[in-house]
Each structure stands twice: as C-alpha cells, then as structure tokens.
C-alpha cells in the first residue's frame, strides 16, 4: 500500500537533501522484496514498473514555472540520479530495483552491466551480500531470456572470485531455490557451451560444500553432470575440467583425469 506513495515521493527527490535519497531507495527496495512471495495486482505491477523506470532514468524537477530564474535560484531545474549515481551504495541499490521492476531488455542489460562492474570491487561484493541479491539474480536465470541469462551468470561469477565474500555467497546459494533453478537450466537443450561453462563454475564451487551433495541429488543434478560429462566435447577443456571437479567433489568419480571422454 505504501509503494504508490513512495513512487510519488520519488518525484520530490531533486528538491530534498541528497542524503535522504538512500533511505527512500532502501525503503522501496525492501518493500518490493516483501512482495516476492505474494500475487501482485495489476495496479501494483504498473506502479513498480513506473518506479523502476524513474529510478533508471532519474527524476528531474523543473521548479516553479511562475518564478523567473533571476528571482530565485531555487526555481531552476534540479535532478536526482539513482541508477546513474556516482555513489556506489545508491547506484547498486537502484540497479537491484531496476532488475526487480522493469521489463525492457535494454534497461535490464544496462543494469547487469552496471552490476558486473560494481561487483569487481570488495564494496560491491559486500553490498551484494547485505541486500541478499541472490534471489534477484535468480529471477533472470531463464532459458527464455538467453541474452540476459549470460549477463546474470556473469554477475554471480564475479561473486565466486576469491575474497572474504566468497563463502557467505556460496552459503546464500546453498538452498533449494538456487539448485532448482540450476536444474531447470541444465534440463534445457538450448544452452550453448559458454552458458554451460559459467553454470558449471558455480556448481563446482558449490560442490565443495559437503552438505550440498544432498541438493545435487534432490534435483538430479548429479545425474545431469554425469550425462554432460559423458557427452561433452573433449575440445571444451574448461567445461570438462569443471565437470570432472564436480564429479570428484560429489564422489561420482574415482578418476583424477581432467579430460572428458565421449564414452563412460
């Protein structure tokens, strides 16, 4: 009920202290996340889309048209940047809202590009964990949106780089929702090798956690990995290495070989 009000308040942001922008954007983000489990009314969907577009484009206030600029500097146009802000926490949170609310592919592509750049920094990785971003990215891991699928995986791969954020990130992925999504992707015959490579890097990292073995088994991922290993092209060396590593971590192979065979 408060989101439509927040959408209206967003229009006033150019006229208020920039320090107030972050609390408003944070409120909008967590409000949207609370709606994840509910059925959205058409009006709410429209409100969220408008919110996302305003946050993506920024908001411009034209001031009071009845007062000349000579009379008051307050009447001049002012703007508030969110997605394009130079402040990383504000930009990062705005990016997440865009990913949650808009449907335009070009907006989403730019949002993933921004996320990928920010996640190259330790601050970006810390923000990813603070704002519990895994479910936001998961919603874009669909075969139907192939262009965005690769970008979404790139964001997750940035989190797998060695850092203090790696283990908390892997723990955030160690749940049924994440493994169910991976299973759905691997069941598709439309994935190209590059997508498979990225997905297997994630699964390889997750297979190191012993308690995740039950997740691999629950969603038949262990069988899919075996089949991928059996049919993989030996020339796809990077994919083969990760498939073998997953098999070894799950106890599916006693071989130390890092090359794939076309037959078992």
CB of 208 within 8 A of CB of 240?
Answer: no
What is the per-residue pLDDT across 79-126, written as a single tens digit (0 to 9) for each?
Answer: 888 999 999 999 999 999 999 999 999 999 999 999 999 999 999 999
> What angle do helix axes 105-118 and 42-57 make, rounded to 10 degrees?
60
Q: What is the pLDDT of residue 223?
A: 95
221-236 confidence digits (pLDDT tens): 999 999 999 999 999 9
> Where do the domains of the chain lie?
1-101, 104-173, 175-264
Position 73 scores a pLDDT of 46
167 phi/psi in degrees, rounded to 5:
-65, -45
Tell me the helix, strand and coil percentages in the chain, rounded to 5. 65, 0, 30
What residues does 60 pair with on adjacent strands? Answer: 79
This prediction's pTM: 0.86
Coil, strand or helix at 153: helix
Give the span between the Cα atoms of 13 and 82, in whole angstroms. Answer: 10
Contact criterion met (CB below 8 Å) for 236 and 197: yes
Q: What are phi and psi of 78, to 5 degrees?
A: -130, 155
pLDDT, residue 15, reads: 83
Q: How far apart are CA 227 and CA 127, in angstroms?
A: 37
- Residue 190 tokens read as 């439309």
CA–CA gap between residue 129 and residue 136 (Å, rounded)? 12
Q: Which of the residues in the chain have pLDDT under 70? A: 1, 37-43, 62-77, 254-264
Please tell me the predicted confidence (pLDDT) of residue 67: 42
Q: How far apart are CA 127 and CA 228, in angstroms?
A: 35
What is the C-alpha radius of gyration for the chain, rounded to an integer number of angstroms? Answer: 22
**Number of residues that make up the chain:** 264
Look at residue 68 in the predicted model and tell me its pLDDT.
Answer: 45
Q: Would you state the pLDDT for residue 82? A: 94
Say if residues 150 and 115 touch (Cβ distance below 8 Å). no
How far apart, in whole angstroms, are the C-alpha atoms of residue 146 and residue 155?
Answer: 15
Contacts of 38 by beta carbon, 8 Å cutoff, 6+ apart: none
């Amino acid at each position: 009920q408060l989101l439509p009000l927040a959408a209206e308040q967003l229009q006033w942001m150019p006229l208020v202290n920039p320090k107030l922008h972050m609390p408003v954007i944070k409120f909008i983000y967590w409000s949207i996340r609370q709606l994840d489990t509910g059925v959205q009314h058409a009006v709410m969907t429209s409100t969220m889309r408008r919110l996302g577009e305003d946050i993506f484009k920024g908001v411009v206030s034209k001031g009071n048209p009845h007062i000349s600029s000579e009379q008051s500097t307050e009447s001049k146009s002012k703007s508030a940047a969110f997605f394009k802000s130079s402040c990383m926490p504000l930009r990062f949170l705005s990016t997440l809202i865009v990913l949650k609310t808009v449907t335009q592919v070009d907006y989403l592509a730019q949002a993933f590009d921004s996320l990928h750049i920010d996640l190259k920094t330790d601050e970006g990785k810390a923000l990813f964990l603070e704002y519990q971003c895994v479910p936001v990215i998961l919603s874009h891991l669909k075969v139907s949106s192939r262009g965005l699928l690769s970008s979404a995986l790139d964001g997750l791969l940035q989190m797998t780089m060695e850092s203090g954020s790696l283990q908390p990130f892997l723990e955030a992925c160690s749940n049924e929702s994440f493994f169910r999504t991976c299973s759905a992707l691997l069941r598709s015959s439309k994935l190209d090798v590059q997508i498979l490579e990225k997905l297997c890097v994630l699964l390889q990292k997750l297979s190191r956690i012993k308690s995740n073995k039950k997740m691999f088994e629950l969603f038949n991922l262990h069988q899919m990995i075996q089949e991928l290993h059996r049919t993989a092209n030996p020339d796809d060396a990077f994919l083969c290495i990760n498939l073998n590593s997953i098999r070894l971590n799950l106890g599916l192979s006693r071989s130390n070989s890092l090359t794939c065979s076309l037959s078992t």
